[in-house]
Structure formats: structure tokens, C-alpha cells
Amino acid sequence: MIAPFLSQVLRISVPYLFAALGGTFSERGGTINIALEGILLTSAFAAAVTTYFTHDPWLGLAAAVLAGLLTALLHAVICVTFRADQIVSGIAINLLAAGLTKFLLKEIFGSSSNSPRVEGLPEWHLAGVGGIPVLGDILRSPLLLLAAIGVPVGHFLLYRTPFGLRLRACGEHPEAADALGVSVTRIRYTGILISGAVTALGGAWLALDQHSFTDGMSGGRGYIALAAMIVGKWSPLGAAGGCLLFGAAETLQIRLQGGAVPTQFIQMIPYLLTMVVLAGFIGRAAAPRMSGVPYRKEE
Amino acid sequence: MSSPAVELLDIHKSFSRVKANDGVNLAVARGEIHALVGENGAGKSTLMKILYGLYAPDRGEIRIDGKPARFRGPADALRAGLGMVHQHFMLVRPFTVVENMLLGREGVPPVLPMDRVAASREIRDLSGRYALDVEPGAVVEDLPVGVQQRAEILRVLLHGASILIFDEPTAVLTPQEATDFFRVLGGLRDQGKTILLITHKLDEVMQVADRVTVMRAGRVVGERAVRDTSPAELARLMVGRDVALGRVEGEAPAGAPVLEVRSLGVRDSRRIARVNSVSFQVRAGEIVGIAGVEGNGQTELVEAIAGLREVEAGTIHMDGRDVTGSRVAQRQRSGLVHVPEDRQRRGLVLEMSLAENLLLGRQRESEFSGRVLLRAEPILRMARRLSEEFDVRPRDVSLKTRDFSGGNQQKIVVARELGRAPRLIVASQPTRGVDIGAIEFIHARLREARDQGVAVLLVSADLREVMSLSDRILVMYGGRVVGEVPGRDAREDRLGTLMLGGAA
């Protein structure tokens, strides 16, 4: 009973984990990234299309990362180079991603709802560990394994390396970083691009796990991931905790369907939980001080 | 003779409408403490930012040890051995001291772990050598300001700087911290460092500097050896005329109480009690000064009187009427004006023009506002008159207040508040970070208001300011008034003892 539940929580959490980890890298460097939603969508689409035509899900994964990088690059150019409002840029990108994928879906596959079935990534069957709950699940799926490795690696990168130090400095006190010869522009670009590439892994999971691309399949996961990042106080380990919490709520919601309570109420659980947790946390959570503020060198 | 450590030749720099540096020449010999003085807006900070590579000069040359240098950014300046200790520290506050030291260090692989242990050891070595005591593992925002400054100096030394630039280093320090700082400065010079000290406090120059260069309005107007000059001469060079900052007694005895505070209790935003049963009066025609080390409840007291903070206990009366629960606008209609301690946060809307800022708070008056629209002409007339009267420079009412120097920003706030025919002036740190000419001017206006029968409550961390202006001095310590001294026979040592919680 508990093992299948945990297994499902893990699988549901994968896109959250990648997107929240990505968001952390962008925001720690000082750029709010609500374009996570759009990045999930473009990368899922790229994964499905590429896999469909090449029959190679690994190439699909690579294409997803490329699409994520390009979408993030757009956000970086708008926010860092042109210092536009980061929220407006994010919303614009999300709308663009929704429209563009819908349009291309129709152009390429002649459908307004979904792509044809594509292959997924292989499942590994390792002797001896396959039956162990959680660990077995993680070792079975390449992307789940990557998420499990990515979170601690991201944490290490952020808190233990010169790059992480510079990134966090750019989000807290960009003038100080600049005065020490750190290029705020370059570091912020790097943070946003990492954000794009990592989030794209979550997008690839969406398409490859479901074996097709569905219109609007990101379904607000980018925003939930942002909430998880805030609950986790902008740290990779904390954000992962938030993701698993929301993943658990969603799993519960799925499992409770068909009971006495009307489905519509059950479906509200993850979102209500998000609001309750955020309302409790957001006042105390310490955002990077200069996140959302474009940096001007000479004032 | 060997070439100077730093030489600036014919430096020019203009901002949109302001000529900040106009042919500046400066030479600093190796191993000396060289002070650069001038009023706010004289161009000192601009010059230093050019030297440090933060601004590109429009024209002119920089030489380091006689060799021409071109700095495209702070990184170039760092490599040439220059280090800047900024007025607003360039420390990342949630980082530890070690992390701040490691930031910006070049030639390390970006994604391999940092060696904090070695860095901590390096910091300890250096802090021992220069008597700069700092705990490497401490988080910066938990440290007192004086220690933060030491960390900032250490970082500059750690980057191998041999020429150190200090921008208004004592502006944020308590007197005790300032004394420690001067000792550090002397130690740095004795170990062969070259020091450029930007300041407008002349007693500091006399105390620690070897040579001094004076700037006024973007030009150098004099260079002296400190032993051959006097504060009076430097003040004259800075301002362009003689300056007097002495005590002037009031003309008439004080009248009826205007402000009456009874058993006031106030908590701060974290619900910690900051003001405890404080009672006093300010009468018409007197200046009451509140002395005290910052953080002893003065901020909360002023905010409660101004109507910006809720009162927990006690009452506030103005002209005999209870205003304890009144809104800010009501208090202002009864004649209260407030010069807030932080001009950028509470005093000005930096993105708005001089004229708009002068209008703030008076926008409902029929002189300036019709039924729907503001009246442009009367507003501009008022702004021109006030900026003339209060000598705000440049005299451009459409310029954003962000683009004025700190001293002129302060004059704008003072002009707006004192320009409203007040009954009660609550002035909090009215001359913080302001140059000598503007201090003299603001003091004269406060005295003038007093002589016209206005009640003035002055809160200042600058003891000499409190002593030179106040008719009565109250000392606050730990949220209470612990002593009252008549202004004319106040002595610094006695006030100092009270401020630190000792018995008088």
C-alpha cells in the first residue's frame, strides 16, 4: 500500500523537481523566472516531435534541453540585456509557448489536442534492487535518477563552489559582485540558462512518460514548482522537499477520486495546499534581496 | 623624487546635466594618508569612481606609479593594486566573512569546492598583521557596523591592494568605532600602504591625514600639508567663504507647551518594546535635543510622534489636544512637520522631480490643486521659490531627486517641511551625511524657526549638533529618558556617560 504510493509520488514529482531546481538557479542569480511554465511546454513539445521523427527518445531528451535553453535565452535577453520587467517577460513567454506549441501541433500532426504516440525512455531493470521501494523506483528510470542526483549536485554547486557564491552574490548584492570584478550580466545569463536546461528535463519527462505531447500539458506545473521553490526557501534541497509535498498532495488527490467526495473538491487539494503553505511561508521566506531587479552598471 | 603612487591629470566627467569633474588634478605620494575633502556634490565621489574604474572619464589620464593606466572596470583597478572601501559596504549581507572574501577571487575553478579552511587561515593571518579583528565564520549581517567595515578593509587587503580608497568611512560609525578606525588607518600607513580618504569632516582630516586636497564644484581649489593648515582655512576653501558652527542662544524665553508626551510606550515592528514611559514637553520657541546612541528608541519615539507608528501606552498632545490616535494628515494640519532620519526611504520619492517632491503632503491645498487637476504654475512657482530660498543645487525643479547629491536631497526635505509654516518641527538626523555649508544652513533655519516661536524636537546621533542647537538636552538610553541637561552648560563627557547608561 505504502510502496506504490511512494512510487507514484516520486513519478508525479519529477517535473516539479526539475522546474523548481531550475527556478532556484535563476532566482538565486537575481532573475524571477515564471517562464518555467513555458519552458516545460516547449521542451515537452520538442521531446515529442524529435522522438516521433527519429524514434530515439535520447535525441528527444537532447532536443528538449535545446528548446529549454532557447526559451530561457529569450527570457535572459529580455530581462538581463534589456532590463524589462521579469514578470511581464515570463508571462509573455508562457503565452508564446502555449500558442506556438498549439500551432505547431496542428501544422505537424494535424491535431489540435495531441501528438501521435512516441517511444519513451527505457526502464532499467537492475537485479536485486528493483524490488526495493523508492530506491528501486529511482534506479529504474533515467530521469528520476537524474533528478535524484541533480538536487544534491545543485545544492553543492550553489553553496560550495565559487560559481554558486558568485550567483548568489548577483541575487543579493549585484553592486558588490560587480565591484569585485564579477560580471553580473554573464552570471545572471548562466543562471537563467541552467534554469532552462534543467527545467527542460522536466518537460521531456512529461512528454516521454505519457508517450505523447498534449496541448497545454504543463498544466500549471511551472507555477507549482515556483511555489515549491519559495516553500523551500530558494535552496535546492528545500525546494525538493516542497516538490515532494506537492507531489504527495497530487497523488492523494488521484487516489481519492471516485470516493464519496465530489471529484472537483478532491482536485482542489494540491492547489489549496499550495495556497495554505505559501501563505504560511511567504512572509518569513527570505528571497534573494535583488531578485526581480535589473542591474544597471552606471547610475 | 619618485613618482606619486596615484596621479590624476585633467579629469573631466559630466552627467546628463551636471559637470561633476572639471579638469581635476590630484597627486598622492606613496605611503601617505591623503584626504580629499569637499562639500556634497563637489565631485569627490565621482573622481574616486573614475579612479576605481566604475566610471569612464570623458577626458583625462590616470597614472599609477608614474605609468599611465586605463581601467575598464573595477577588476582592472584591483589588478593595478587599488582597493576601495565603499561608504555603503560592498559586502553580501547573508554571506559569512569568508564567503565575502572568496567572492571575486580569480583564477579558481568555478565549480570545484572552495577551500574555506585555507581562506579562514589567510584572514586570521591578515587580521593579526593589521589589527583588524574579524571572525571569519561570522555572517556579515549579524556583525556591528564597525566590524563590517573591518571585514571590508580586510577583503581589500586580501586582494593585494597597496592603494586604499576610503569613501566617507566614518559616516556610519559610532564615535568609539571611528577612533578604532583611525588607529587602523595609521597602522596601514605605517606598513607602507597609500591611503586616499574621502570625507567632509575636517576634524578627521586634521587628526589622521598627512596631506589634503580640497574640491569645490568639480574643481580642485587647494592642496595643503595638514600641519600647515587649519580647519578654518579648509572650511573656507570648501565652502568659498567663512563658516561659523558655534552656539547661538535663543532670543526670547520659551512659551507654552506645543508638544506634550506623557508616559509614552512604543514597540517596534518585531513587537519589542523600544520606548518605555517617556514623558517630556517641547514649548514654543525652544529646541529640545534628544541625544543617545542610535537604537535606544529614538527612531520609534519620532515615528510615534509623527504618526507613523502605533502607540502602545501613554498620550501625545499638540497644543493641548490629544493627537495620540490621529492620522498623519491630521497632525500635519495642526502644524506638525517631520524631517525623517532616512531621507531616501521616508523623505523623498527619488523617481519624482524636485517640484513634485516639494509638493508632497500639500497636494490637497487649494493653492496647488483644482477640483480634478493639479495647478502646474503655482506648483512650479513654489518649487522655484523654495529651491532658491534653501539653496538647492542645481536649481532645476524638473530634475529627478535621485540625481541630486545627498546634501542637496536633505535640503529638499528640509525645504519642504520648513516651508509649510510649522508649529512643531520634528527633525531626525537633519544633517546626516551633509556637508559643512549645508549643516550651517540647516542649523540656521532651525534656529530661525525657534526664534519665530516654533517648537523644535531635534534627534541626532551627532553630539556636537545636539549641543550647539539645543536649549534643553534629553538623553535616551534603553528606551527611557535617563537625564536632562540645559543646553548651554552641557559637556560632552557628561552626556557621553549618560548615553552609555551611566549615572550623571
Could you report the per-residue pLDDT of B131-157, keeping only the tens digit for each? Answer: 888 999 999 988 888 889 999 999 989
For residues B428 and B441, give the distance between their C-alpha atoms in angstroms, rounded to a whole number.
Answer: 16
Evaluate whether ipTM surpasses 0.90: no
Please tell me the number of Cα atoms within 13 Å of B120 on its side-chain side: 9
pTM beyond cutoff 0.80: no
> Which A residues in the span 160-219 are in contact with B, Cβ-Cβ below 8 Å?
160-163, 165-166, 168-169, 172-173, 175-182
Q: What is the pLDDT of residue A195?
A: 98
Contact B298, B385 (CB under 8 A): no
Q: What is the pLDDT of residue A73?
A: 98
The H or E element spanning position A88 is helix A86-109
> Residue A90, Cα to own-chain centre: how many angstroms?
14
CB contact under 8 A, B95 and A169: yes
Q: Which residue stretches of A211-262 are H helix?
A: 221-231, 236-256
**A102 in contact with chain B, both atoms CB, cutoff 8 A:** no
Strands (E), B366-412: none
Cell of B304: 510615534
Is 60 exceeded by the pLDDT of residue A284? no
Chain A neighbors of B84, CB-CB under 8 A: 179
CB-based burial of residue A224 (10 Å sphere; 0-12 exposed, 13-18 middle, 19+ buried)?
A: buried
CB-based burial of residue A55 (10 Å sphere; 0-12 exposed, 13-18 middle, 19+ buried)?
A: exposed
For B64-98, letters b (16+ CB in 10 Å) and e give bbeeebebebbbebbebbbbbbbbebbbbbbbbbb
Angle (nearest 5°) at CA A286 between A200 and B272: 165
CB contact under 8 A, B95 and A172: yes
CB contact under 8 A, B110 and A177: no
| Nearest neighbour of B104 by CB, restricted to A168, A175, A181 | A181
Specify the range with the lowest mean pLDDT, choosing from A8-17, A259-268, B265-274: A259-268
Region B357-371: mean pLDDT is: 89
Cell of B89: 559596504
Q: How far is A165 from chain B (nearest CA, A)?
A: 6
CB contact under 8 A, A173 and B92: yes
Chain A neighbors of B89, CB-CB under 8 A: 176
The residues facing B280 across adjacent strands are B261
Is 80 exceeded by the pLDDT of residue B16? no
> Which of B335, B283, B250 has its CA nearest to residue B456?
B283
Cell of B28: 598622492
Chain B neighbors of A165, CB-CB under 8 A: 95, 99, 102-103, 114
| Nearest neighbour of A161 by CB, restricted to B94, B105, B113 | B113
Q: How far is B168 from chain A (nearest CA, A)?
A: 17
Q: How far is A266 from chain B (nearest CA, A)?
A: 39
For residue B60, CA distances in Å to A278, B5, B51, B107 come to: 55, 17, 11, 32
Higher per-residue pLDDT: B285 or B407? B285
Per DSSP, the residues of B405-440 read -HHHHHHHHHHHHHTT--SEEEEESTTTT--HHHHH
Q: What is the pLDDT of residue B503?
A: 62
Domains of chain A, earliest start first: 2-281 (1.10.3470)
Angle (nearest 5°) at CA B390 between B385 and B396: 60
**B320 in contact with chain A, both atoms CB, cutoff 8 A:** no
For residues A294 and A299, give the distance between their C-alpha atoms in angstroms, rounded to a whole number.
Answer: 12
CB-based burial of residue B281 (10 Å sphere; 0-12 exposed, 13-18 middle, 19+ buried)?
A: middle
Q: How far is B141 from chain A (nearest CA, A)?
A: 12
pLDDT in tens, B376-435: 999 999 999 999 998 888 889 999 998 887 788 999 999 999 988 899 999 999 988 777
For residues B52 and B444, give the distance between their C-alpha atoms in angstroms, rounded to a whole number.
Answer: 37
Q: Which residue has the cell 580618504?
A: B197
Q: Which CATH class is domain B6-239?
A: alpha beta
CB contact under 8 A, A161 and B99: no
The band of A299, judged by pLDDT with boundaries at 50, 70 and 90, is: very low
Is 70 exceeded by the pLDDT of residue B23? yes
Tell me if domain B6-239 and domain B257-499 are identical in fold: yes
Considering only alpha carbons, which residue of chain B is nearest residue A171? Answer: B92
Q: What is the pLDDT of residue A285?
A: 60
Chain A neighbors of B91, CB-CB under 8 A: 173, 176
CB contact under 8 A, A298 and B55: yes
> Which of B320, B254, B304 has its CA nearest to residue B454?
B254
Q: What is the pLDDT of residue B19?
A: 85
| Interface test mutation site (partner A, options B87, B103, B351, max chain A beta carbons within 10 A) | B103
Considering only alpha carbons, which residue of chain B is nearest residue A290? Answer: B92
For residues B198 and B205, give the distance between their C-alpha atoms in angstroms, rounded to a whole number.
Answer: 9
Across the A:B interface, residue pairs with CB atoms under 8 Å apart total 76
Strands (E), B233-377: 257-267, 273-283, 287-291, 313-318, 321-322, 336-339
Q: How far is B104 from chain A (nearest CA, A)?
A: 5
Q: What is the pLDDT of residue A298?
A: 56
Specify the range with the lowest mean pLDDT, choosing from A155-164, B210-219, B436-445: B436-445
Give the amino acid at A154. G
CB contact under 8 A, B94 and A286: yes
Q: How far is A13 from chain B (nearest CA, A)?
A: 27
| Nearest neighbour of B113 by CB, restricted to A160, A178, A298 | A160
The band of B446, judged by pLDDT with boundaries at 50, 70 and 90, is: very high
Per DSSP, the residues of A168-208 read HHHHH-HHHHHHTT--HHHHHHHHHHHHHHHHHHHHHHHHH
Q: What is the pLDDT of residue B285?
A: 93
Chain A neighbors of B99, CB-CB under 8 A: 165
Cell of B455: 517648537
**B117 in contact with chain A, both atoms CB, cutoff 8 A:** no
Is 90 exceeded by the pLDDT of residue B270? no
The residues facing B275 across adjacent strands are B266
Higher per-residue pLDDT: A274 or B278? B278
Considering only alpha carbons, which residue of chain B is nearest residue A154? Answer: B111
In the DSSP assignment, the letter for residue B54 is S
The band of A279, judged by pLDDT with boundaries at 50, 70 and 90, is: confident
pLDDT in tens, B454-479: 999 999 988 888 999 999 999 999 89
For A229-268, letters b (16+ CB in 10 Å) and e give bbbbbbbbbbbbbbbbbbbbbbbbbeeeeeeeeeeeebee
Q: Which residue has the cell 556591528?
A: B144
Contact A221, A250 (CB under 8 A): no
Is 50 exceeded by the pLDDT of residue A89? yes
Contact B280, B479 (CB under 8 A): no
pLDDT in tens, B299-314: 999 999 999 999 999 9
Q: How do strand B219-225 and strand B211-216 relate by DSSP bridges?
A: antiparallel
Domain range annotation of chain B: 6-239, 257-499
**A283 in contact with chain B, both atoms CB, cutoff 8 A:** no
> Which of B216, B211, B155 has its CA nearest to residue B6?
B211
pLDDT in tens, A7-21: 999 999 999 999 999
Region A164-169: mean pLDDT is: 95
Backbone angles phi, psi at A109, to 5 degrees: -110, -5
For residue B66, CA distances in Å to B4, B29, B80, B164, B218 come to: 6, 11, 12, 17, 24
CB contact under 8 A, B102 and A298: no
Q: Which residue has the cell 584591483?
A: B78
Region A277-298: mean pLDDT is: 75
The H or E element spanning position B80 is none
Higher per-residue pLDDT: B276 or B268? B276
Region B202-218: mean pLDDT is: 92
**B167 in contact with chain A, both atoms CB, cutoff 8 A:** no
> Which B residues in the span 141-160 are in contact with A, Cβ-Cβ below 8 Å?
159
> Residue A54, Cα to own-chain centre: how many angstroms?
25
Considering only alpha carbons, which residue of chain A is nearest residue B403? Answer: A299
The residues facing B483 across adjacent strands are B475
Specify the range with the lowest mean pLDDT, choosing from B24-28, B85-89, B258-262: B85-89
Specify the CATH superfamily of domain B257-499.
P-loop containing nucleotide triphosphate hydrolases (3.40.50.300)
Contact A193, A31 (CB under 8 A): no
Per the prediction, chain B carries an average pLDDT of: 89
